[in-house]
């Protein structure tokens, strides 16, 4: 089993070659890969088991980091951009990479007394996710 440290992990949101969130200093990410199922159970006098068929995929993720309030964020490019490619990378050298097109669905920033300013974002993929 290979276990990796997240010290060189990353997340990018690219429109063409431009990383739209590079200035946001990401420090953590998670990804959820899922699929809905469709109930195809018919009446049966001999079985009470449900029959399930594959349905639509539903992939999403979250990221968080330290907020640099001197950095600018292009909200239109981040929130209303069907061509934005999201890439979650475990480690720069050996970790898995999850890539697909998607949207930022929520973004929040927070700060408390004696704390660093942080941000959290939620993503939804619009289609398949490639796992490399």
Q: Note the pLDDT tens digit of each residue in 66-89.
A: 887 777 666 666 777 766 788 888
Dist CA 70 CA 6 (whole Å): 26
Q: Domains in the chain, ordered, with CATH? A: 7-32+59-131 (2.40.10)
What pTM was computed for the model?
A: 0.76
pLDDT for 20-44, tens place per residue? 777 678 888 899 999 999 999 999 8
**What is the Cα Rg of the chain in Å?**
19
Is the pLDDT at 59 greater than 60? The verdict is yes
Average pLDDT over residues 120-126: 89
Cβ count near 108 (within 10 Å): 10
Instruction: Measure the CA–CA gap between 3 and 94, rounded to whole angstroms.
Output: 10
Measured distance CA(120)–CA(28) in Å, rounded? 9
């Amino acid at each position: 089993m290979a276990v990796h440290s997240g010290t060189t992990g990353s997340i990018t949101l690219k429109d063409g070659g431009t990383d739209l969130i590079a200035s946001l200093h990401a420090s953590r990410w998670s990804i959820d890969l899922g699929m809905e199922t469709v109930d195809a159970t018919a009446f049966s006098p001999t079985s009470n088991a449900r029959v399930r068929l594959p349905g639509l995929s539903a992939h999403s993720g979250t990221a968080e980091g330290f907020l640099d309030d001197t950095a600018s964020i292009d909200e239109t490019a981040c929130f209303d951009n069907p061509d934005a490619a999201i890439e979650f990378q475990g480690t720069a050298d050996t970790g898995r990479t999850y890539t697909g097109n998607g949207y930022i669905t929520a973004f929040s920033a927070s700060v408390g007394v004696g704390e660093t300013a942080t941000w959290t974002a939620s993503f939804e993929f619009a289609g398949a996710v490639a796992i490399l």
